[in-house]
Amino acid sequence: MITKRFHRDHIAGGAERFAWRLASKLADSGSAVNVLGARLRKGWKSSEKVSTGKGIIRVKRFPHPRFRLLGTFMYNLSLFFELAFKHRSVSVVHVNFASKELMTAATARALGGPPVVCRIACAGETGELAIISRTRYARLFKHLTRWVDSFVALSDEIEEELECFGIEPDRIVKIPNGVDTDVFIPPSSEERNSARTLLGLGNGELAIAFAGRLSHQKGLDVLIRAAGRLHGHIKVLIAG
């Protein structure tokens, strides 16, 4: 698995949380899981074994100097050599973003490396494919995608964007994000009423909740404008 920011004590966002949970579930099921990432902080070890309770995740982190171009080059060069020449025990490479790391994995695949699967995390104008399309290396990226064996789409929108990008439908697998039903369960009437009282919500008052990173990418401005067009008593609750 390739994900640049992988550390159980420094989960920055949803993508990192997804990577940690997927790696943990695979390790617990008996799979040998190796994570390749970057050493972005001094305290992060170059290599370590992380226990998941039932299994082990082996983590290897490559140097990534703070100088932007140099850091990206050194990191991806290390990834390439790892994938191209030390892959004999690897069944599949899972890349957590459509990014430069995917280009590196696809190049290694073209030279006889292991199969590559990429999970697309976002759609829209701030999604990976839209961002890549605006870069100087967009044509090279599109060319290299022919060596990506499969793409995972979280939504219909991502699936449509992949097809528009030139990815054949038989290389796209739609797998929406799941929900941990041991944690997230529908509240009882008593719990719902208690929560509404705690939040100061009156009878019949509509409440819209947002939980996530406070950034333009999340479309919070769209939510606020849409809420303003609704009739009646509306309260927007934001946790970020």
Distance CA 125, CA 161 (A): 11
Statement to judge: residues 111 and 203 lie in one domain: no
What was the pLDDT predicted at 182? Answer: 87
What was the pLDDT predicted at 179? Answer: 83
Span 12-68, pLDDT tens digits: 677 788 888 899 999 999 999 999 999 988 888 999 999 988 999 999 999 888 777
Statement to judge: residues 133 and 220 lie in one domain: no
Residue 5: inside a domain, yes or no? no
DSSP 220: H
Span 133-143, pLDDT tens digits: 999 999 999 99
What was the pLDDT predicted at 150? Answer: 97
Q: Is the pLDDT of residue 9 over 80?
A: no
What was the pLDDT predicted at 77? Answer: 93
Q: Is the pLDDT of residue 181 over 80?
A: yes
Statement to judge: residues 40 and 132 lie in one domain: yes
Statement to judge: residues 132 and 212 lie in one domain: no
Strand partners, 211: 239
User: If you search the block for the tokens 């990014």, which residue do you land on?
Assistant: 99
Statement to judge: residues 117 and 232 lie in one domain: no
Statement to judge: residues 63 and 122 lie in one domain: yes
Statement to judge: residues 53 and 163 lie in one domain: yes
Statement to judge: residues 26 and 123 lie in one domain: yes
Statement to judge: residues 21 and 120 lie in one domain: yes
Q: Is the pLDDT of residue 164 over 90?
A: yes
Does 4 or 66 have the greater pLDDT score? 4
Statement to judge: residues 219 and 131 lie in one domain: no
The number of folded domains in the chain is 2
Residue 51 lies in domain = 14-174
**Cβ–Cβ under 8 Å, residues 69 and 100:** no
What was the pLDDT predicted at 27? Answer: 94
Span 70-96, pLDDT tens digits: 888 999 999 999 998 877 788 999 999
**Cβ–Cβ under 8 Å, residues 5 and 40:** yes
Element holding 85 (H helix, E strand): helix 68-85
CATH code of 148's domain: 3.40.50.2000
Statement to judge: residues 126 and 21 lie in one domain: yes
Supply angle C-alpha 17, 15, 169, rounded to 5.
130
Statement to judge: residues 140 and 89 lie in one domain: yes
Domain stop point among 148, 174, 200 = 174
Distance CA 87, CA 140 (A): 24
Residue 125: inside a domain, yes or no? yes
What was the pLDDT predicted at 67? Answer: 76
What was the pLDDT predicted at 23? Answer: 92
Span 191-235, pLDDT tens digits: 988 988 988 888 778 889 998 888 887 889 999 999 988 887 888
What is the model's pTM? 0.83
What was the pLDDT predicted at 12? Answer: 66
What was the pLDDT predicted at 91? Answer: 92
What was the pLDDT predicted at 230? Answer: 86
Residue 111: inside a domain, yes or no? yes
